[in-house]
Amino acid sequence: MKTVAIKFFSLPGLTWGIPLVKIFSGDSVGEQLKVITKNVLIPLLAIVVFLFAWSFSARQVTTSLGQIPGPGMVLEQFQELWRAHVVEREKAAEFYARQDSRNAEKLAANPNAKVIDIQYTGKPTYIDQIFTSLKTVFMGFMIASLIALPIGILCGLSKTVMKAFNPLIQIFKPVSPLAWLPIVTMIVSAVYVSSNPMFPKSFIISAITVSLCSMWATLINTALGVASVSTDYINVAKVLQLSPLKKTFKVLLPATLPLIFTGLRISLSVGWMVLIASEMLAQNPGLGKFIWDEFQNGSSQSLARIIAAVFTIGITGFILDRIMVELQKLVSFNKAAA
Amino acid sequence: MALELKNVSKGFGEGASRTQVLQNINLKIEESEFVAIVGFTGSGKTTLVKMMAGLITPDSGQILFQGKPVSGPGKDRGIVFQNYSLLPWFTVLQNVMLAVNEVYPHWTKNERIDHAKKYIDMVNLSPAIHKRPAELSGGMRQRVSLARTLSMKPEMLLMDEPLSALDAITRGILQTEIVNIWGKDKTTALIITNDVDEGILMADRIIPLNPGPNATLGPEFKINIDRPRDKTALNDNPEFIKVRNQVIEYLLDMDADTSTTKTETYTLPKLSPIMPGSFKKSRRAA
């Protein structure tokens, strides 16, 4: 029973429950209280101290948009943004209901009547914008991975390929998304011409900018991982005379997966960071555009909304990172067992 | 002739830092013969077996397997590595299947699985068939490695210190098991070991490898002990004792030869044993 409970609380995000289970099952209370203090109380205390410091120092500065908002005002804006989202969704539902009943009436009067389904064209809500950002970052992350993984494997396999790619990697790695963006914008505008595009241009531009900045970590880690696969495994592949394809998929990639995932994890967090800047400039309707619009809007709530966006970005990035950590745990094998 | 080495030499490094590991190795192994090569650690035993497997090529000289020069690794020579070299992301069955799939690609999947299971059973690992290497003990891992190699039905079995990382008891059990399996199939076998007893127990012929650098093979010692050999009875076998002493004497002589640069002599303190009860007396005498 105890082990089952501990196993459940070992799930990501629930580890705080383990000492509680141990207390109830009769472990030393003092010992477990120490664990709780260390892992739960101290982080909570730090957050509370931060909130007070923020609240206090915010009152000291007055900007052209009024006072810098404290935690309370930001929380209010969170609620406000959620309310706006709910209202917008209701409006959309009403719109579709009206459209459906109108179409039904038309069809009842004349079964051959042409009915048109019009998309509701309300402005995207804050929640929509979060999802647009997520979609964009995943698109960019996918493009980055599709480019970085094969090149990384090739670099790891051959010193010649590595030498060829290394200067390019080193030169392009530190370039800021803001520098890429104008180039990407021009190229996408020239190449991606379609009367009925599958994705909006701004989405493509942001995604490509994200991938240009985030692919390096995956590339370097994959190359390093493949190059440093234990000679024992390579010898097995040699003795069994595995084909290059089998060698890659049965030996090299499994041995490299932990490092590849470290690279992917860094790539995703870099991508998420870069995304906001590129959305701001490319006007992709995500969190970046939200911040830019609020900044341009300059209402008395704007600063509070931007700070709300900052927290949204931070927490989403944290969740994405945790997901990658859990995925990495899933694919990692026990290294000691060679 | 199963395997023949003619004047094989191998060294590593460049220029001043170059060390010649093996020098003029000559060796002939007959079909179905079991040969043991014993030597000190660092004498180039692993280099020797890797050359036979085709994982590294000699600098000079020739290695012939069944009359044909060895140009690379082949499925006809199975190798059992010292450190097991199992793939940790595969289960026992999957590790063995990796080899079976390569050697018998034309068989149906079920035939291949049955074949793999047969060899896993042969090394007594059937209960652990779906476990991963991390869940196995050292002895069990080496059994998997053995099953993987045996399942390829190699014409020659090369074993590079397969048992040296194991405890004495597991080692003894596996020595007997390997010899039994070899006795059934009568493949040619070569074992590299640092344990003279192990070599004598298992092999038909034991050949010392002189300490490197410039290691060469010493004289061969034939072991005329009937099979099956009983490990416990062997200790009283005069032939066993004779061969064992000859080999150890030879190895120690060779080691003394290479370390003659030592000029310092140590004078040992004179010690006389104190018998129980004699302690008081000696004090009274003083």
Q: Mind giving me the DSSP string for A131-156?
A: HHHHHHHHHHHHHHHHHHHHHHHHHH
**Spatial contact of A256 and A225, defined as CB atoms under 8 Å apart:** yes
Cα–Cα distance for residue pair A247/A265, rounded to 1 Å: 25
Give B160: exposed, middle or buried? Use CB within 10 Å, 0-12, 13-18, 19+: buried
**Spatial contact of A288 and A133, defined as CB atoms under 8 Å apart:** yes
| Nearest alpha-carbon partner for B86 in A235, A241, A226 | A235
**Polymer length in residues for chain B:** 286
**Residues B102, A240: C-beta atoms closer than 8 Å:** yes
Contacts of A337 in chain B (CB under 8 A): 86, 88, 132-135
B69 to chain A, minimum CA–CA distance in Å? 17
B137 at A interface, C-beta within 8 A: no
**Residues A250, B99: C-beta atoms closer than 8 Å:** no
Q: What is the CA radius of gyration of chain A?
A: 26
Residues with Cβ within 8 Å of residue A253, at least 6 apart in sequence: A153, A260
Cα–Cα distance for residue pair B223/A234, rounded to 1 Å: 36
Contacts of A338 in chain B (CB under 8 A): 83-86, 88, 133
Cα–Cα distance for residue pair A15/A9, rounded to 1 Å: 5
B74 at A interface, C-beta within 8 A: yes
A7 to chain B, minimum CA–CA distance in Å? 20
Q: Specify the pTM.
A: 0.77
Give A43: exposed, middle or buried? Use CB within 10 Å, 0-12, 13-18, 19+: exposed
A224 to chain B, minimum CA–CA distance in Å? 19
Query: CA A104, A109, A110, A111: dihedral to nearest 10 degrees?
Result: 50
With H, G, I as helix, E, B as strand and everything else as coil, classify residue A270. helix
Q: Print burial letters for B242-262: b (CB count within 10 Å at least 16), e (below 16).
A: ebbeebeebbeebeeeeeeee
Residues with Cβ within 8 Å of residue B179, at least 6 apart in sequence: B34, B201, B202, B227, B228, B229
State both tokens at A9. Answer: 């609380």
Which band of pLDDT confidence, cut at 50, 70 and 90, is reported for residue B286? Answer: very low
State both tokens at B259. Answer: 């370390």
* pLDDT on residue A28: 77
**Residues B84, A338: C-beta atoms closer than 8 Å:** yes
* pLDDT on residue B35: 94
With H, G, I as helix, E, B as strand and everything else as coil, classify residue A28. coil
**Spatial contact of B7 and B25, defined as CB atoms under 8 Å apart:** yes
pLDDT per residue, tens digit, chain A (338 aa), is: 677 777 777 776 677 777 777 777 777 778 888 888 888 889 999 999 999 999 999 888 888 878 889 899 999 999 999 999 999 999 989 988 888 888 888 888 888 777 777 888 878 889 999 999 999 999 999 999 999 999 999 999 899 999 999 999 999 999 999 899 999 999 998 988 877 778 888 899 999 999 999 999 999 999 999 999 988 899 999 999 999 889 988 999 889 988 999 999 999 999 999 999 999 988 888 999 999 999 998 888 889 999 999 999 999 999 999 999 888 888 776 544 33
Which ipTM score applies to this complex? 0.79
A251 at B interface, C-beta within 8 A: yes
Give A47: exposed, middle or buried? Use CB within 10 Å, 0-12, 13-18, 19+: exposed
**Spatial contact of A304 and A73, defined as CB atoms under 8 Å apart:** yes
With H, G, I as helix, E, B as strand and everything else as coil, classify residue B35. strand
A249 to chain B, minimum CA–CA distance in Å? 12
Average pLDDT score over residue span B234-259: 84
* pLDDT on residue A317: 95
Neighbours of A166 (CB within 10 A): 13
Neighbours of B83 (CB within 10 A): 17
* pLDDT on residue B260: 56
Report which DSSP code applies to A172.
Answer: H
Question: pLDDT tens digits, residue range B105-164?
Answer: 999 999 999 999 999 998 888 999 999 998 898 889 999 999 999 899 899 999 999 888
Q: What are phi and psi of B163, to 5 degrees?
A: -115, 5
